[in-house]
Amino acid sequence: YGDYNQKIDYVFKIVLIGDSAVGKSQLLSRFARNEFNLDSKATIGVEFQTKTLILDNKTVKAQIWDTAGQERYRAVTSAYYRGAVGAMLVYDLTKRQSFDHMSRWLEELRGHADKNIVIMLIANKCDLGSLRAVPVEDAQEFAERENLFFMETSALQSTNVETAFMTILTEIY
Ligand code: GTP
Ligand code: MG
């Protein structure tokens, strides 16, 4: 057993973007390692993790890139988006501002990424429903207008995390 003798049919690069503290890094660690950390530190620069899975009898390696939401910690933008075939645009459903910034993140993404990139809008922290600041209808309307997939997730409770990544990967494939 081991990755070293596994034949990889496809490598798909997926990028995570969105404001600081919306939960990008925790969504990634939940998906890649099934781990979650409540005192996650802000990301500095760029990190990535991979997860290899089987899709339709093919071995697919998802290479998921995660960068800082904070401008001062962000790495070179064009390199980050280069080669990406999927993107998750993440906001925190308890922070209206993080949703209002989605159009800016989308603009940056569309300015740098391939035009066929598969994009999913993610409303994270759905475990905090009582603190909700973004009605699901607002997000659905935005997603429809911009032609994005949409899902509500909780990295903490593991809700829809696997489904969201698998939906993107299936669409790319
Ligand atoms: P930057 O790296 O600064 O861009 O932030 P980030 O988007 O990577 O956020 P991060 O994953 O570090 O999470 C920020 C905070 O939100 C941490 O305290 C996490 O534990 C918490 N968090 C992340 N996902 C969830 C979630 O689904 N529910 C709840 N309740 N908290 C979450
Ligand atoms: Mg982070």
167 lines ligand 1 (CB under 6 A): no
Ligand 1 binding pocket mutation candidate from 17, 24, 26 (most atoms within 8 A of CB): 26
> What pTM does this model have?
0.95
22 lines ligand 1 (CB under 6 A): yes
What is the C-alpha separation between 52 and 50, in angstroms, rounded? 7
pLDDT tens track for 129-151: 999 999 999 999 999 999 999 99
Atom of ligand 1 nearest to the CA of 26: 11
Contacts of 164 (CB under 8 A, 6+ apart): 27, 88, 120, 122, 151, 153
| Percent over 70 (pLDDT), the chain | 97
* Run of H or E residues at 87: strand 84-92
pLDDT tens track for 8-28: 999 999 999 999 999 999 999
- pLDDT (average), residues 54-77: 91
Minimum CA distance residue for ligand 1 atom 26: 125
DSSP 9-75: -EEEEEEEE-STTSSHHHHHHHHHHS---TTPPPP-SEEEEEEEEEETTEEEEEEEEEE-SSGGG--
